[in-house]
Chain A
Amino acid sequence: MWLNEVAAGKPIMLVGVATILFMVFGWFGTVIRESVAGTFNKQVDTSFRMGMIWFIFSEVMFFAAFFGALFYARALSVPWIGGEGDGALTNFFLWKGYAPAWPTNGPSEIGGAFETMPAWGVPLLNTLILLSSGVTVTIAHHALRAGKRKELLVFLGLTVLLGATFLWYQAHEYMEAYTQMNLTLGSGVYGSTFFMLTGFHGLHVTLGTIMLIVIWLRCARGHFDRDHHFGFEAVAWYWHFVDVVWLGLFLFVYVL
């Protein structure tokens, strides 16, 4: 309704978002309180772990689809319209004179001329920031297992700060892409795969940072010990997962 410019659309959307946030905070808060009160048995613990597996499975499939779109466009469909494989007639009749290359916005140059984001700059800096956050979360994990509470809080806090720094630089990169490089979501297949992959990854970093903040607060309140810390371990693992997705992104979107 909001996108169709119905007057009531925006307030209804905001009420919906507020309701979701209220429900999520209430639900997760209840689960945390029940966990701390010790009302969960082993079956409930197993159900949380099963939930994590299904969540990660859906995430893997999600990113596989977008990486798949990138690889398909680069390795198959762009060469086909350039006349490779079975695409000779397609190239001759529809896209005559089109020489396939990557990055490209296709033979009709959808979105107009654009520049690509160079790897040797903000993307590399962001890679180093995210890798550092992977190191700090691992140190925090080690500290939790070793029972060193202060070290845990310091390094988990550093991970949150590094995550926020990553997001700040990515927002900066997007503004530069839109305002100075004419690289937009509409820049053909390169622009759409670039923004879909990096954008959804950024959304995951945002979610991961929020989860790390919650876990930091829970660590500060002493919710975890060296043998009982599934909440911490799941979020730490999720952060490693998001970091690995970025490694793939950096290598396949920016470098190779």
Chain B
Amino acid sequence: MTTLIIVAFLIVILYNLGAGLYYMMSDKGQTDRTLNALKRRIGLSVLLILLVILGIWLGIIKPHDLGR
């Protein structure tokens, strides 16, 4: 379940990163669409890592160790 949530986050982050690239090509620096897509991508990334830290801290996510 946690893996699914993390992967879902990564997909949305990748989508916004890709959107930023697309707007950079189409708008040629004349709009804020690239900037806004990249703002969404960094915001979601920070949120994801904070959730992962919380998950490790609460014991929901166990970072892998040898032989697990």
Q: In this complex, what residue of B is CB-closest to A116?
A: B66
Known: A227-B30, A233-B24. A240 touches B66 (CB 8 A): no
Considering only CB atoms and an 8 Å cut-off, how many residues of chain A contact the other chain?
44
Residues of B near A127 (CB, < 8 A) are 49
Q: Say how far B58's CB is from chain A's closest CB, in angstroms.
A: 13
- Across the interface, do A120 and B63 meet the contact criterion of CB distance under 8 Å? yes
How many A-B contacts are there with CB distance less than 8 Å?
102
Residues of A near B21 (CB, < 8 A) are 52-53, 56, 237
Residues of B near A213 (CB, < 8 A) are none
Q: Give Cα A45 to B39, complex, Å.
A: 25
Asked if A251 is an interface residue, CB under 8 A from chain B, the answer is yes
Q: Give Cα A77 to B39, complex, Å.
A: 39
Q: Give Cα A186 to B66, complex, Å.
A: 17
Interface residues in B1-48 (C-beta closer than 8 Å to A): 3, 6, 10, 13-14, 17, 20-21, 24-25, 28-30, 32, 34-35, 38-39, 41-42, 45-46, 48
Per-residue contact bits, chain B 46-65, to A (CB 8 Å; 1 contact, 0 not): 10110011001000010111
Asked if A256 is an interface residue, CB under 8 A from chain B, the answer is yes
Residues of B near A141 (CB, < 8 A) are 35, 38
- Across the interface, do B38 and A236 meet the contact criterion of CB distance under 8 Å? yes
Q: Give Cα A250 to B10, complex, Å.
A: 12
Q: Give Cα A145 to B27, complex, Å.
A: 14
Q: Give Cα A102 to B63, complex, Å.
A: 11
Per-residue contact bits, chain A 136-175, to B (CB 8 Å; 1 contact, 0 not): 0010011001000000000000000000000000000000
- Across the interface, do A240 and B28 meet the contact criterion of CB distance under 8 Å? no
Q: Give Cα A244 to B41, complex, Å.
A: 9
- Across the interface, do B48 and A138 meet the contact criterion of CB distance under 8 Å? no
- Across the interface, do A255 and B38 meet the contact criterion of CB distance under 8 Å? no
Q: Give Cα A71 to B39, complex, Å.
A: 29
Known: A49-B24, A53-B21, A56-B21. A237 touches B34 (CB 8 A): yes
Residues of B near A230 (CB, < 8 A) are 24, 28-29
Q: In this complex, what residue of A is CB-closest to B65?
A: A116
Q: Give Cα A236 to B24, complex, Å.
A: 11
Asked if A218 is an interface residue, CB under 8 A from chain B, the answer is no
B residues whose Cβ falls under 8 Å from a Cβ of A: 3, 6, 10, 13-14, 17, 20-21, 24-25, 28-30, 32, 34-35, 38-39, 41-42, 45-46, 48-49, 52-53, 56, 61, 63-68
The 28 sampled A-B contact pairs (Cβ below 8 Å) are: A49-B25, A101-B66, A102-B64, A102-B68, A115-B66, A116-B64, A118-B63, A120-B56, A120-B63, A131-B46, A138-B39, A141-B35, A227-B29, A233-B29, A234-B24, A237-B24, A237-B38, A240-B38, A243-B45, A244-B14, A244-B45, A247-B45, A247-B48, A248-B10, A255-B61, A255-B64, A256-B61, A256-B64
